[in-house]
Amino acid sequence: MTTPTRATARDVLDTTDSSLLDLVDNLLNRGVVISGEVMLGLAGVDLVYLRVSALLCAADRISDGRP
Amino acid sequence: MSGVYLYALLGANPATSPGVGVSDEPLRTVDLGGLFALVGDVPAALAPSPATLTAQDAVLRRLATGVDAILPARFGTLVADDATLVESLTARRTELTRALAQVSGCEQMTLRVWGEQAAPPADAGVTDAGPGARYLAARRRARQVPEVDTLRRRLGALVKAERVERHDRPPLLATVQHLVPRGESAQYLAEVEAAGAQLAPWRVTVTGPWLPYAFGGAA
């Protein structure tokens, strides 16, 4: 039986190129994080502490307007 | 909200001018004592979008051709001024210097392992262990990908370092990042392609080469 979550993930996978997925993962989810007083430039965008389990949705969300 | 935008940490000062950043701002380096922060002075941080993420990655790829050791910062890292930046990074200088040494001359390849069900862990039969042993077994499992062990053995000679993250939401079972010497990615891709068909029922996808985003030390 296919759960809605799996179906959604598959839809995104089928329509999203995996390089975009990894671009999102690498730049928003990896990379050196600095401690202290940091103003993250992502106000209003809840992608900062993104986990890969949420990545499929995130890649889909920021895909709007992609050329 | 203007400030100092952190692009990356470098093991050495670039020999030539670092050029401009995503907002066409001139890039400069801040000496942290043995390592350098690559920064730009910006009026505001950019919102994440495919275009801005791609642009930042492109700036760093251009820079990487002139430096051996580069550790990208997380997108959107903006601090008030140089003093704040130095203060934030100085406490982690030892760890960051070690990370820069590790990634020197290397690039990252990213494997994703897909399937409907994960392979049973090697220690699945151990059920009478105490809580400590169970905890350690779980920690060990989080770093294992038995689904693609044959592929990992095959890639072994190319891989300088590895990060493994398991996921609990199929079909994505695990993400594996490998650090490989620059210029070896074509051989890596060929090995993945050759071994990929033998991994059924699991499937792997591979992207790269990337800058070593996943090898910046502990978050």
Q: What structural domains does chain B harbor?
A: 3-103 (no CATH), 106-215 (3.30.70.260)
Would an 8 Å CB–CB cutoff place B66 in contact with chain A? no
Cβ of residue A1 closer than 8 Å to a chain B Cβ: no
**Chain A residues touching B210 at Cβ < 8 A:** 22, 26
What mean pLDDT is predicted for residues B123-150?
A: 80
pLDDT at A23 over 60: yes
Instruction: Give the pLDDT band of residue A57 (cuts 50, 70, 90).
Output: very low
- Within 7-66 of A, beta carbons closer than 8 Å to B belong to 9-10, 13, 18-42, 45, 47-48, 52-53, 56, 62-63, 65-66
Residue A46: domain span: 4-61
Residue type, B42: V
Write out pLDDT tens, residues B162-182. 999 998 778 889 999 999 999
pLDDT at residue B196, as a whole number: 84
Band (B66; pLDDT cuts 50, 70, 90):
very high
Which residue has better confidence, B25 or A36? B25
Given a cut of 80, whether residue B73 has pLDDT beyond it is: yes
User: By three-state DSSP, how is residue B128 classified?
Assistant: coil
- The reply to whether A66 falls in a domain is no
Residues 6+ apart with CB under 8 A from B111: B148, B151, B175, B176, B177, B178, B192, B204, B205, B206
Please report residues of A whose CB lies closer than 8 A to that of B216.
30-33
Whether residue A17 is contained in a domain is answered as yes
Looking at CA atoms only, how far is residue A15 from chain B in angstroms? Answer: 15
Residue B127 confidence (pLDDT) = 66
Give the count of alpha carbons within 13 A of B14, CB side only: 20
> pLDDT tier at B132 (50, 70, 90 boundaries)?
confident
Report residue B218's pLDDT band, with 50, 70 and 90 as the boundaries: low
The answer to whether residues A67 and A48 touch, using CB atoms and an 8 Å cutoff, is: no
For A27-47, how does the pLDDT look when each residue is reduced to its tens digit (9 = 90+)? 888 888 876 545 555 543 443
Q: What percent of chain B has pLDDT over 90?
A: 62
Record: contact A42-B205, CB cut-off 8 A: no
The one-letter amino acid at B16: T
Q: Count structural domains, chain A.
A: 1
Residue B153: count other Cβ atoms within 10 Å of its Cβ.
10
Picking from A6, A18, A31, the nearest residue to B75 by CB comes out as A31
**pLDDT in the model for residue B41:** 97
pLDDT at A35: 63
Distance (Å) from the alpha carbon of B54 to chain A's nearest alpha carbon: 7
Domain annotation covers residue A36: yes
Note the pLDDT of residue B192.
Answer: 94
Beta bridge partners of B6: B39
